[in-house]
């Protein structure tokens, strides 16, 4: 037995996203969003670059008409829209203290330019929040978790367009005005670093072009996104009870060996892939290493002095990040493995999941220490977990000892980081309940403490079953013992 140390008010909980759980894509006034236009693809098709992930005009038309018999998993999620009461009750039973969820923009402003928010949309989230309060759950809300509305694609808008930024601000202000009494922790954009890039490569009507060009263009989108986020923070000052943080997909890498050239290459990699985003949102200005890189690669950012001012005056109040894995980096090409949206170098000291994500709990302690040393503002791990192929056994449960080990090892390293002096306010595992995968659109990649009886085609009863990890987590929440 090992007793872990966490502050009494530490927020242990679970995270989800609207597009991966809600379903009910055409109910109560909701319109479609980007992720609901992506059909399910079997593994072989997913691996084929000519058929995967291109959002073309044709694909959008095909998805709107929906006559092809294809299955669009994010239109169905795990049916949280109809089962939220049952799910929230289970979250309470598991001992969660906080529930991270996102709001679907197209439920609140179905057409973007609607004069008034959709009352049915507001009502749904108010009901969910009431239910959370009734069950003693604190709430964290992501305002946009990748689900860009269809009208944005149809108009081919990017974050460089004021029309999109203004529409988002209107939406964000509505959320803050309506829900500040329920929700203390807010994240304007999920994984803002990946989001900026995703918009460039998946933008409706444009074929995926030159990847490097898309990456370079995405820095301008990122600038507009962080400024928009800063404007949300500025507006939220009228609600002193709430806190607004950022959300960045962590990208920890180690040098492949101690050759100083590799160590330096990895430093550059970590600067641009990891620290850059937090430097920008915590310190409110562009770091020198980024400005140098922009110059060398000819990156153009459409910066306005008023925007720089907004950014400087409205830093995030806490840092949040998703942490699933780590990788390696070297000056030469090295063997690669899959990662959270990007491939990373293989680390021979680490084991990987069935999807190739390398499991590295100590990397979490390292990252927490790095962020605390550099920023000295509270830290929140807003996603962390393990995806596995699972089926129910004859006892209607899943013996997921690997998940128990994954979570226990990461909890232990967080506790060590806290002893190192790191100030952490919370942790939300990905995820308390099985849902549709973001990257591969499948139900088969299961992360939950709770099994959901749906397959990749949304066939099944939808019933919920507690896995072994559910009972383990419940016990851990009482004892904090491993």
Q: What residue ranges bind ligand BG6 (CB under 6 A)?
A: 17, 190-191, 249, 322, 340, 383, 387, 430, 437-440, 445
Tell me whether residue 218 or residue 340 sits nearer to ligand BG6 (CB atom): 340
Tell me whether residue 172 or residue 438 sits nearer to ligand BG6 (CB atom): 438
Beta strands in 83-136 (DSSP E): 98-102
Nearest distance in Å: CB 309, ligand BG6? 30
User: Residue 431: is the preceding peptide bond cis (ω within 30°)?
Assistant: yes
Nearest residue to ligand BG6, scored by beta-carbon proximity = 439
Return the active site residues: 191, 383
Residue reference for tokens 């904090």: 480
In the structure encoding, which two tokens stand for residue 386, read together? 């393990």
Nearest distance in Å: CB 296, ligand BG6? 29
First to last CA, the chain: 6
Q: Is 258 left (phi over 0), alpha (psi -120 to 50) or beta?
A: alpha
Tell me whether residue 310 or residue 436 sits nearer to ligand BG6 (CB atom): 436
Cα separation, 3 vs 412, whole angstroms: 9
Tell me whether residue 118 or residue 440 sits nearer to ligand BG6 (CB atom): 440
Beta strands in 147-298 (DSSP E): 185-189, 243-249, 253-255
In the structure encoding, which two tokens stand for residue 108, read together? 């609140």
Cα separation, 92 vs 131, whole angstroms: 11
Tell me whether residue 286 or residue 427 sits nearer to ligand BG6 (CB atom): 427
The angle formed by the CA atoms of residues 114, 117 and 120, to the nearest 5 degrees, is: 125
Nearest distance in Å: CB 142, ligand BG6? 9
Nearest distance in Å: CB 442, ligand BG6? 9
In the structure encoding, which two tokens stand for residue 106, read together? 């197209």
Q: Is 394 left (phi over 0), alpha (psi -120 to 50) or beta?
A: alpha
Radius of gyration of the chain (CA): 21
Nearest distance in Å: CB 445, ligand BG6? 5
Tell me whether residue 174 or residue 444 sits nearer to ligand BG6 (CB atom): 444
Nearest distance in Å: CB 478, ligand BG6? 28
Nearest to 323 by CA among 367, 267, 369: 367
């Amino acid at each position: 037995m090992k007793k872990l140390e966490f502050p009494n008010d530490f927020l242990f909980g679970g995270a989800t996203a609207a597009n991966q759980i809600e379903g009910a894509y055409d109910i109560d006034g909701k319109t479609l969003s980007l992720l609901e236009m992506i059909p399910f693809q079997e593994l072989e098709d997913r691996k084929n670059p000519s058929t995967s992930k291109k959002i073309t005009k044709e694909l959008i038309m095909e998805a709107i008409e929906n006559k092809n018999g294809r299955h669009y998993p994010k239109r169905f999620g795990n049916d949280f829209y109809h089962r939220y009461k049952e799910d929230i009750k289970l979250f309470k039973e598991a001992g969660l203290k906080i529930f991270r969820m996102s709001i679907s923009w197209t439920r609140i402003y179905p057409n973007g330019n609607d004069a008034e928010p959709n009352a049915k949309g507001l009502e749904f989230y108010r009901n969910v929040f009431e239910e959370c309060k009734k069950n003693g759950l604190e709430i964290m809300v992501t305002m946009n978790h990748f689900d860009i509305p269809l009208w944005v694609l149809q108009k081919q808008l990017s974050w460089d367009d004021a029309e999109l930024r203004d529409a988002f601000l209107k939406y964000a202000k509505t959320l803050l005005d309506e829900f500040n009494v329920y929700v203390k922790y807010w994240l304007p954009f999920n994984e803002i670093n990946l989001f900026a890039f995703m918009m460039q490569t998946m933008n409706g009507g444009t074929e995926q072009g030159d990847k490097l060009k898309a990456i370079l263009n995405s820095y301008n989108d990122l600038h507009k996104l962080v400024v928009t986020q800063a404007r949300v923070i500025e507006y939220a000052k009228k609600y002193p009870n709430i806190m607004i943080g950022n959300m960045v997909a962590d990208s920890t890498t180690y040098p492949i060996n101690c050759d100083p050239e590799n160590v330096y290459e990895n430093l550059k990699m970590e600067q641009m892939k990891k620290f850059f985003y937090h430097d920008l949102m915590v310190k409110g200005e562009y770091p020198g290493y980024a400005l140098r890189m922009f110059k060398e690669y000819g990156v153009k950012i459409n910066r306005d002095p008023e925007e720089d001012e907004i950014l400087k005056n409205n830093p995030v109040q806490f840092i949040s990040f998703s942490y699933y894995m780590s990788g390696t980096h070297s000056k030469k090409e090295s063997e690669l493995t899959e990662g959270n949206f990007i491939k990373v170098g293989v680390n021979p000291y680490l084991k990987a999941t069935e999807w190739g994500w390398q499991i590295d709990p100590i990397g979490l302690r390292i990252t927490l220490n790095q962020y605390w040393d550099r920023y000295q503002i509270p830290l929140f791990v807003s996603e962390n977990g393990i995806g596995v192929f699972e089926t129910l056994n004859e006892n209607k449960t899943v013996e997921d000892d690997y998940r128990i080990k994954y979570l226990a090892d990461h909890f232990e390293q967080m506790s060590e980081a806290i002893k190192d002096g790191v100030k952490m306010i919370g942790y939300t595992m990905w995820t308390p309940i099985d849902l549709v995968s973001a990257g591969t659109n499948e139900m088969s990649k299961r992360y939950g403490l709770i099994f959901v009886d749906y397959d990749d085609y949304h066939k099944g009863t939808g019933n919920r079953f507690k896995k072994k990890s559910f009972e383990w987590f419940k016990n851990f929440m009482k004892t904090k013992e491993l």
